[in-house]
């Protein structure tokens, strides 16, 4: 009886490891890029981080971008967020969330591209014609 249980446990582990979704989450690296697309030469202050990784405070000039790569954790709870400050105000938003199916859909192909503009923050919808969608507007004050 113990042999049958051991075999069943081994089969379950193998089925999990060999599943397509397991490979997608564990081996493909996500790439995040955040562009300063402000129209009047405005410099941004941006601070992005996750629970485990702090990318530091950065100054982003017009036309420049920051980028980073990571792999999702096994529990699919990976979350990166950014605080962004501009002359128009500030915004705080999640730039990646393993548990957000809408963001997964927009960031098709393991790439999330964000554009910071005069009227707010946009994400490129890679699954539909690469159009940019407004995600957050600037909040006044600091």
Name the CATH superfamily, with its identifier, for domain 29-136: Immunoglobulins (2.60.40.10)
pLDDT at 22 over 70: no
* Residue 24 in this model has a pLDDT that exceeds 70: no
* pTM of this structure: 0.79
Q: Please say if the pLDDT value at position 48 is more than 50.
A: yes
CA distances from 99 to 37, 72, 102, 111 (A): 28, 11, 9, 16
Average pLDDT over the chain, rounded to an integer? 86
**pLDDT higher than 70, residue 96:** yes
Task: State the Cα–Cα distance between residues 111 and 123, nearest whole angstrom.
Answer: 11
For residue 107, give every residue at least 6 positions away whose Cβ sits within 8 Å of its Cβ, in sequence order, or none.
30, 96, 113, 123, 126
| pLDDT tens digits along 98-134 | 999 888 889 888 999 999 999 999 999 988 888 999 9
């Amino acid at each position: 009886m113990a042999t049958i249980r051991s075999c069943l446990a081994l089969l379950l582990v193998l089925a999990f490891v060999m599943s397509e979704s397991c490979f997608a989450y564990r081996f493909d690296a996500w790439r995040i890029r955040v562009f300063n697309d402000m129209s009047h030469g405005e410099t941004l202050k941006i601070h992005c981080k996750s629970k485990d990784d702090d990318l530091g405070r950065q100054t982003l000039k017009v036309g420049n971008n920051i980028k980073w790569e990571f792999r999702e954790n096994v529990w699919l709870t990976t979350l990166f967020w950014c605080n962004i400050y501009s002359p128009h105000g500030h915004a705080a938003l999640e730039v990646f969330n393993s548990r957000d199916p809408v963001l997964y859909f927009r960031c098709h192909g393991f790439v999330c591209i964000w554009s910071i503009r005069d009227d707010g923050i946009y994400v490129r919808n890679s699954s539909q014609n690469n159009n940019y969608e407004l995600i957050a507007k600037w909040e006044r004050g600091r």
